[in-house]
Amino acid sequence: MPIRGGLPPRNPRFVGREDLLARVREMLGTGPVVLLPSQEHQLGGTGRTQLAIEYAHRHSEAYDLIWWIPAEQTSGTRAALAGLAQRLGLPESRDLNRTLGAVRDALSRGEPYRNWLVVFENANRPEDITPYLPSGAGHVLVTSRNPRWTTEVAQGLPVPVFDRADSVDLLRARAPELSAVDAGRLAERLGDVPMALDLAAAVREATGRPVSGYLEDFDRRAAELAFPTPIRVAWGLAAEALGAAAPADRVLLELCTFLASAPISWRLLWAARTLPLDPELARTVRVERRLRAAMRRIARFGLAGLDPAGERLTVHPLIRGMFGQELSSERHAALLRTVRGMLAAGDPGDPDDPAGWYRYAELAPHLIHSDLLGGDAEEIRQLVINCIRFHYARGDYDSSRDLASAAVSRWRDGLGESAEQTLLAGFHLANAMRAVGRSADARTLNLQTLRTQREVVGADDEATLATANSVGADLRMQGHFGQARQLDADNLVRYRRLFGESFPTALRCANNLAADLRLLGDFRGARALDEQVLRHRQAIFVDGHPETVSSRAALAFDLFGLGDYAGAADVLATRPGDAIPADHPFALWAGRCAAMAARRRGEPSARALAAENLAMSRKRFGELSVDTLASAVSAANCAQADGDLDEAHEMLERAVIRYHAVLGDDHPFTLAASAGLAGVVRATGRHSDARTIDMEVLGGLRRSVGSDHPFTLSCANGLAADLFAVGEVQQSRELAADTLRRSQAVRGTDHPDTAACAWNLARIGADDAAREQALNGLVKAFGDGHPVFRATAADLHLETETDLPPL
């Protein structure tokens, strides 16, 4: 049996279509196929979805994998493809776009399944699914109402109405006692349209109406309509019959028509029990047993599909549209208010908690069809904000951005730019923008939002503080570490005053301030904060909680910066009960620091640890992520320490190019990576080339982070060696002496990098006493037997290579 995901159950009453099924099979051999309505029935109802379902079941043995994707909305498409990624065993990326690209590529390669079928249902905008269409040996089948498909994307196959024999077979399958003559009379009046035939058969079965009586009703109903069509008339009779049998059921179905074609769970409908409703409807939805019975009755009249478990209703788009056309403006407004209230009542809250994501996955598809953005109640708009956050937390940054952008646009016009929820939506929009690489746009929007929030609700409001934290992240990303520190320090004072120092959001703010200090080279200040945050998080969270892992990784980076490599390794080694996966961002930070500490301690395992960390980072974040680039720099440092200069040069050269593209020419990380590249060039004996790079980088670092920053000191240490090698001995000695003084003042006399600077100055000055003293300092810093002494024995310059902390 093939693996099946989301495939609807087979229709036991499916009849005919043999020629069409054979045609689908033939056409799929040459590329994707899209099933379209026939020219005479552009609105649908000719059975495209049922044909796709039957094809998938009938030919299931030919496939290893069959995956059904609801594609009416992009977010639903992306969610279904994310589920396929898990089934394919693909690593989850923090950015869902990367995961979906990996799904497409894996299917195209035929790994791990060569023969597969992917069905996109209700894909009415070709451009929405084109980025996800795989190639390869598998098959892609699409259903759509939109005829605007080009042959470059998919081959169109119109699905016509039944021929008369199939119509008769369908009617008699539902009512075996029906004569062929009577079935033919019904089929002729219903135009052989599959949806009309199904509705008529359902109504007759539910009511026991004879053929003659149904045809009389059909003629009556048709005469009442200006433009009668078989589907419209058959739908009207079904809705009329349902209303006569159970008026509350019809109202319940009318509520469903304000929702999307996505399955509507009984839990969502059950949420309406808290709202003011008509007494009969209130009685129906108040008790789960009655609600489920109503759902079965609705399905019995053919007005919606019901899954085999009786959990979810699915209303065809045509049914939704016809109900909407029948409603008066007053009735439409009243039902819409109820639907919006029902959706808001179903909001589980806390969209960051994965335990509630399945509820948001049920709610999110219905936001657009119920025009939740136009809701006038605060709790309705809050559901929109929570769905924006849900998409973001799940890694679907595009869906988060699209919904947030729509909310900001609508609410600015309707509520005003300074309304609380307009500003909240703006905050979430900026987060999504930053996540998809639009950092400059995110910063501009965040600054505008923060300025307005401070004017309207004050600097101490919780939402204002959250935006201020986001602005701090923008500043760090842009390399403005000092400005980020000032902002985050002010935020922390406010958070602690309002919530106390152990409140989770206050701890996150303290964590951010520690990151600022670390990026500024103040590892002592960062360590004090990170130790405090770690203690509080250990008291609050269970072992292995992501935020505790984050604090351990941060503290390890602090200790590494202080030259305590053994201490950094110890912090990372004592992580009992960690439950997060190895490719979680915080786990990757910890893994990178472990490799860095191993390298500085001279352990042979360092290079393998760094290579593994880089591979996982690439899969998790992609090649252009700042996390991946920092991991590449650390891996290059390990390769250089292992003597593989070609590998180190290639990795650093690629990283520098990408840093220029991602962060810009003047960002401290771009400059620090460039200094690392100069170090490899220097190690190959090309001192003049290295000098050129270092001269430019040193000027940039002095301007951006100052002369005492570790990045600057590392570059200056390298440039001193360049100058010495090209014969500029006096300038080399002066720079080496200045670098040593600054390192002693900033990092301390016992820091390993200070000891390395002391050796380099003694070597340049050819001072034997100073060499002896420097060697003693190196023994104290690194211990006997460290690989650094192979370099001193050969009278070589000691590099103080830079590793980049997390942004």
Over the chain (807 residues), what is each successive 10-residue block's mean pLDDT? 88 92 96 92 87 96 95 88 91 78 93 94 91 92 91 92 94 92 95 95 93 94 92 95 94 93 91 92 94 95 92 91 90 94 94 88 90 93 95 86 95 94 95 85 94 94 92 93 96 94 93 97 98 94 84 97 97 68 86 97 96 91 90 98 96 97 95 97 96 97 97 98 95 96 96 96 87 93 92 94 94
> Do 247 and 332 fall within a single domain?
yes
d(CA 799, CA 763): 13
| Spatial contact of 657 and 701, defined as CB atoms under 8 Å apart | no
Tell me which of 144, 160, 176 is where a domain ends. Answer: 160
d(CA 352, CA 466): 15
DSSP letter for 34, please: E
> Do 114 and 178 fall within a single domain?
no
d(CA 60, CA 39): 30
| Spatial contact of 306 and 256, defined as CB atoms under 8 Å apart | no
- Which bin fits 706, alpha (ψ -120 to 50), beta or left (φ > 0)? left
- Which bin fits 47, alpha (ψ -120 to 50), beta or left (φ > 0)? left
> Do 42 and 180 fall within a single domain?
no
Question: Which residue range is the domain that position 151 belongs to?
Answer: 3-160
Assigned domain for 68 exists: yes
**Sequence-distant (≥ 6) Cβ neighbours of residue 723 within 8 angstroms:** 691, 729, 731, 732, 735
> Do 195 and 342 fall within a single domain?
yes
Assigned domain for 576 exists: no
pLDDT at 584: 81
d(CA 447, CA 540): 32
Assigned domain for 572 exists: no
> Do 141 and 27 fall within a single domain?
yes
Q: What is the CATH number of the domain that holds 768?
A: 1.25.40.10
Assigned domain for 264 exists: yes
Residue type, 795: D
Assigned domain for 341 exists: yes
> Do 209 and 232 fall within a single domain?
yes
d(CA 400, CA 555): 32
pLDDT at 74: 87
Assigned domain for 113 exists: yes
pLDDT at 122: 92
Residue type, 55: Y
> Do 251 and 142 fall within a single domain?
no
**Sequence-distant (≥ 6) Cβ neighbours of residue 85 within 8 angstroms:** 92, 99, 100, 102, 103
Percentages (nearest 5) of helix, strand, coil residues in the chain = 65, 5, 30
Laid out side by side, the sheet with 264-265 consists of 264-265, 312-314, 305-306
d(CA 725, CA 721): 6
Structurally, the chain folds into a number of domains equal to 3
Tell me which of 111, 132, 160 is where a domain ends. Answer: 160
pLDDT at 578: 52
pLDDT at 667: 97
3-state secondary structure of 505: helix
Burial 312-335 (b: 16+ CB within 10 A, else e): bbbbbbbbbebbeeebeeeeeeeb
CA distances 147 to 5, 22, 53, 70, Å, are 27, 22, 21, 18
d(CA 588, CA 79): 25
3-state secondary structure of 155: strand
| Spatial contact of 306 and 299, defined as CB atoms under 8 Å apart | yes
pLDDT at 114: 92
| Spatial contact of 690 and 679, defined as CB atoms under 8 Å apart | yes
Q: What is the CATH number of the domain that holds 84?
A: 3.40.50.300
Laid out side by side, the sheet with 33-37 consists of 3-5, 65-70, 116-121, 139-143, 33-37, 155-159
Assigned domain for 386 exists: no
Query: Beta 312-314 vs 305-306: how paired, if at all?
Result: antiparallel
d(CA 110, CA 129): 20
| Spatial contact of 469 and 509, defined as CB atoms under 8 Å apart | yes
> Do 261 and 351 fall within a single domain?
yes
> Do 82 and 213 fall within a single domain?
no
3-state secondary structure of 314: strand
pLDDT at 547: 87
Number of C-beta neighbours around residue 240 at 10 A? 15
Tell me which of 361, 376, 400 is where a domain ends. Answer: 361
Nearest to 557 by CA among 574, 572, 579, 577: 572
Number of C-beta neighbours around residue 160 at 10 A? 17
Assigned domain for 512 exists: no
pTM exceeds 0.85, yes or no = no
> Do 170 and 287 fall within a single domain?
yes
> Do 55 and 175 fall within a single domain?
no
> Do 186 and 250 fall within a single domain?
yes
| Spatial contact of 357 and 394, defined as CB atoms under 8 Å apart | yes
d(CA 497, CA 256): 48
